A and B are shown apart, each in its own frame.
Chain A
Amino acid sequence: MAAFEYAPAPESRSVVEIKPSYGLFIDGDFTSPRDGGVIKTVNPATEEILSEVAEAGEADVDRAVAAARAAFANVWGPMPGAERAKYLFRIARLIQERARELAVLETLDNGKPIKESRDVDVPLVAAHFFYYAGWADKLGHAGFGPAPRALGVAAQVIPWNFPLLMLAWKIAPALAAGNTVVLKPAETTPLTALLFAEICRQAELPAGVVNIVTGAGATGRYLVSHPDVNKVAFTGSTGVGREIARAVAGTSKKLTLELGGKAANIVFDDAPISQAVEGIVNGIFFNQGHVCCAGSRLLVQEPIADELIDALKRRMSQLRVGDPLDKNTDVGAINSAAQLARITELSAAGAEEGAERWEPDCELPSQGYWFRPTLFTGVSQSHRIAQEEIFGPVLSVLTFRTPAEAIEKANNTPYGLSAGIWTEKGSRILAVADKLRAGVVWANTFNKFDPTSPFGGYKESGYGREGGRHGLEAYLDV
């Protein structure tokens, strides 16, 4: 037993009321689905069933798109930007006021540590609404001509890793630009989107501007292929992204895709080692590694490889894995049994192909979906764990000798979402960043997000940018 045993410090779940079942949020009201069944959503940390949500069928998607179309034509489209901004500011303030409720619900439904939902997800969600609220009456100054116009109805499909944050990334710019939306949250994490629907009502957002249809793959398919949709935005796997691109091809729909990644985190021998270790840990174990821009490949320069790996193992041994609601938890639960199976399968392949597996000796809860933070050393480019996106707390360590080799290995992937560079030498940061084919390059830090900064990928990581001024372009007729 440790000398300094931190007593349990659980955040209270009584701040949030979870209803036994939820309908679809269409045209400003929660309604029962016309067709389709129900989906149970579970707490991945305990496997407890939290609630039942509707699975929207084709008729429900039709209703939602029709409501969005009517709101666009009659209310939201004609409304002056300054008026739209008021609603967005109001939503942003309500998110701040109800931050604790949102954080606890996100942690319950997703499995991420409360420390992250409280300190990262929810504050960023509010920041996105504040930021885009500011653009709503200044679109003529965004660099897209004097009077850029909204597209119309946006169909938005988001993943389970940052349920509320991805909602904000999609809804805030769409509404600021004057579009109305139909959003489908992931089937394993629908609850915060439904609480957001309640916030829209509280903000007295006109009916039909935001519609939330819950469901699984089929619901998403109806939505993105609906003929009366003008814009499709998707964040998720590259496989589904391809399917959507095919469905949208040949139509006039505008499409943005934010897909997978296999980011290289490059550590040069003159790096600030302690901070690099923190950045590597944050890069791959933040949100259990369920991050499309996770630094899942560590490229370390040979002279410091042993020292860095030792430091990394020591640091990983300190990660506190367990109850996501405990304020001292660093690594929470894997979001679903299916994802756990995928991580387990890929990790087994890593060991079979000859990489050396290491994991800290931490206890895991007996219920729920858990995976120990895992480190693979001796990984080469040809290993599956160096090529495929694992989307879990698994780090593959590769080494390099020269900057040129680091760049070559970093770029040697079908993905190109993010990368990290660690060195005390400023000129090297600029030179290497220039050659990395990745949408985001962090220098001496990792996984930092800000609403003012555009985010998006190269190659199979997708196209289009979200965030910042660039993020408006996807929702304007330019």
Chain B
Amino acid sequence: MTVSLAALADVARSEASLRAFLHGLPGVDKVGAEQRAAALGTRSIKTSAKAWAIDLSIRMVDLTTLEGADTPGKVRNLCQKALNPGHGAPRVAAICVYPSMVATAHEALRGSGVHLASVATAFPSGQAPLSVRLDDTRAAVAAGADEIDMVINRGAFLSGRYTEVFEEIVAVKEACGDAHLKVILETGELATYDNVRRASWLAMLAGGDFIKTSTGKVPVAATPPVTMIMLEAVRDFLAQTGRKVGVKPAGGIRTTKDAVKYLVLVNETAGEGWLDPDWFRFGASTLLNDLLMQRSKLATGHYAGPDYVTLD
């Protein structure tokens, strides 16, 4: 059943209708969801399939540095890594930095085709006045970011003020202009899978181009079951509205084995339409080097070790 996006967005006309819609979504059985995600984690991906998955994973990486200690020098190094991962590996999807580092990254990446993402909206807590969060967004876009990773207002979400969350996302989307908007749900703070499903739909209804699991700044980041539920949401949203939304798990994905498990989840949940850097990303900092090491091991038969990949 396809309904127009406008008709569906109309559910946000009042707090009551938005709540009724979100609470009318089918529930998630925790035990069953975790079993399904774990079962998909046992797929055996070898040889040619593994090589394909590693290269695709590299192309899906949002190479990230989000530290108080970030400097222009650090960011320039990371951009060089994005452009030249080494050993003939493909380039990553994007660099992800704080707004203050966007100008530096923009300079380094100019014309390369590697996207430039910036977290904004008082990342990671989002606990700043809306006007400040919108200014944060506009500044990042003005400095050259073509993707914005915003955080939702978890306080408002958890206390059931869904329209407030919705309207804030709409406002940030507007402040983004042409930049793509990734909406960080911070699923570790939403705590239940029912909330993850509701927040996913809320973010998609409000115009998010991507839904992203986590900031990486709270103890529980991306997990396979959470990502699976978000992948179900984008699949169902496309079927209902005709609009396709991407998914980005972030935080805690460090190994090639993990990345391949996520690709299996994508393949068998949302489908192969999402096996593309335009529709699925990994938010990660250390994952890239493990992918590069496993890539060369698969090609040469030898495991060279961490001294043979660059630390940037």
Q: Show the binding face of A for B, using Cβ within 8 Å.
A: 2-9, 115, 119, 270-275, 278-279, 318, 327-328, 424, 444-445
A4, B53: Cβ atoms closer than 8 Å = yes
Among candidates A7, A279, A444, residue contacting B46 with C-beta atoms closer than 8 Å: A7
* A115→B263 CA distance, assembly (Å): 20
> Which single residue of chain B is at the shortest CB-CB distance from A317?
B271
A318, B268: Cβ atoms closer than 8 Å = yes
B26, A9: Cβ atoms closer than 8 Å = no
Q: Which of B28-36, B96-104, B247-255, B300-308 participates in binding chain A?
A: B28-36
> Which single residue of chain A is at the shortest CB-CB distance from B197?
A274
A279, B268: Cβ atoms closer than 8 Å = no
* A478→B195 CA distance, assembly (Å): 53
* A153→B28 CA distance, assembly (Å): 49
Evaluate whether A3 and B32 lie within 8 angstroms (CB atoms) in the complex, with A9-B44, A270-B27, A271-B26 already known.
Answer: no
Cβ contacts under 8 Å, B31 to chain A: 444-445
A275, B43: Cβ atoms closer than 8 Å = no
> Interface residue count for B (Cβ, 8 Å)?
28
Q: Show the binding face of B for A, using Cβ within 8 Å.
A: 26-29, 31-33, 35-36, 42-50, 52-53, 229, 232, 263-264, 267-268, 272, 275
Cβ contacts under 8 Å, A3 to chain B: 267, 272, 275
Among candidates A5, A119, A444, residue contacting B29 with C-beta atoms closer than 8 Å: A444
Cβ contacts under 8 Å, A274 to chain B: 26, 28, 32-33, 36, 229, 232
Evaluate whether A2 and B272 lie within 8 angstroms (CB atoms) in the complex, with A328-B43, A328-B44 already known.
Answer: yes
- In the assembled complex, the CB of B267 is this many whole angstroms from the nearest CB of chain A, namely 5
B267, A444: Cβ atoms closer than 8 Å = no
Cβ contacts under 8 Å, A328 to chain B: 43-44
> Which single residue of chain A is at the shortest CB-CB distance from B263?
A4
* A108→B45 CA distance, assembly (Å): 22
- In the assembled complex, the CB of A79 is this many whole angstroms from the nearest CB of chain B, namely 41
* A274→B35 CA distance, assembly (Å): 12
Cβ contacts under 8 Å, B53 to chain A: 4
* A274→B29 CA distance, assembly (Å): 8
A278, B42: Cβ atoms closer than 8 Å = no
> Which single residue of chain B is at the shortest CB-CB distance from A306?
B1
Among candidates B33, B50, B264, residue contacting A275 with C-beta atoms closer than 8 Å: B33
Cβ contacts under 8 Å, A278 to chain B: 32, 35-36
Count CB-based A-B contacts (< 8 Å).
72
Cβ contacts under 8 Å, B43 to chain A: 6, 327-328
- Interface of chain A, main secondary structure: loop
Cβ contacts under 8 Å, B27 to chain A: 270-272, 424
- In the assembled complex, the CB of A300 is this many whole angstroms from the nearest CB of chain B, namely 13
* A2→B264 CA distance, assembly (Å): 13
- In the assembled complex, the CB of A454 is this many whole angstroms from the nearest CB of chain B, namely 21
> Which single residue of chain A is at the shortest CB-CB distance from B266?
A4
A7, B26: Cβ atoms closer than 8 Å = no
* A7→B275 CA distance, assembly (Å): 17
A9, B46: Cβ atoms closer than 8 Å = yes
* A328→B29 CA distance, assembly (Å): 25
Interface centre among A7, A9, A445 (most CB of B within 10 A): A7
- In the assembled complex, the CB of A425 is this many whole angstroms from the nearest CB of chain B, namely 10
> Which single residue of chain B is at the shortest CB-CB distance from A318?
B268
> Which single residue of chain A is at the shortest CB-CB distance from B50?
A7
Interface centre among B29, B47, B49, B267 (most CB of A within 10 A): B29
* A273→B275 CA distance, assembly (Å): 24
Interface centre among B27, B35, B47, B263 (most CB of A within 10 A): B27
Cβ contacts under 8 Å, B52 to chain A: 4-5
Cβ contacts under 8 Å, A273 to chain B: 26
Known: A9-B46, A272-B27. 14 other contacts (CB 8 A): A3-B267, A4-B49, A4-B264, A4-B272, A5-B48, A274-B32, A274-B232, A275-B32, A278-B35, A278-B36, A318-B268, A328-B44, A444-B32, A445-B32
Cβ contacts under 8 Å, A424 to chain B: 27, 29
> Which single residue of chain A is at the shortest CB-CB distance from B53?
A4
Cβ contacts under 8 Å, B45 to chain A: 6-7, 9
25 contacts across the A-B interface (CB closer than 8 A): A2-B267, A3-B275, A4-B263, A4-B264, A4-B272, A5-B52, A6-B44, A119-B42, A270-B26, A272-B27, A273-B26, A274-B33, A274-B36, A274-B229, A274-B232, A275-B29, A275-B33, A275-B36, A278-B35, A279-B32, A318-B268, A327-B42, A328-B44, A424-B27, A445-B31
> Which single residue of chain B is at the shortest CB-CB distance from A114?
B44
> Which single residue of chain A is at the shortest CB-CB distance from B51?
A7
Evaluate whether A4 and B26 lie within 8 angstroms (CB atoms) in the complex, with A328-B44, A445-B31 already known.
Answer: no
Cβ contacts under 8 Å, B275 to chain A: 3-4
Cβ contacts under 8 Å, A444 to chain B: 29, 31-32
Interface centre among A6, A271, A278, A445 (most CB of B within 10 A): A6
Among candidates B35, B42, B232, B267, residue contacting A4 with C-beta atoms closer than 8 Å: B267
- In the assembled complex, the CB of A185 is this many whole angstroms from the nearest CB of chain B, namely 29
Cβ contacts under 8 Å, B47 to chain A: 7
* A3→B53 CA distance, assembly (Å): 10
> Which single residue of chain A is at the shortest CB-CB distance from B24?
A270
B44, A327: Cβ atoms closer than 8 Å = yes
Cβ contacts under 8 Å, A119 to chain B: 42
- In the assembled complex, the CB of A299 is this many whole angstroms from the nearest CB of chain B, namely 18
* A278→B38 CA distance, assembly (Å): 13
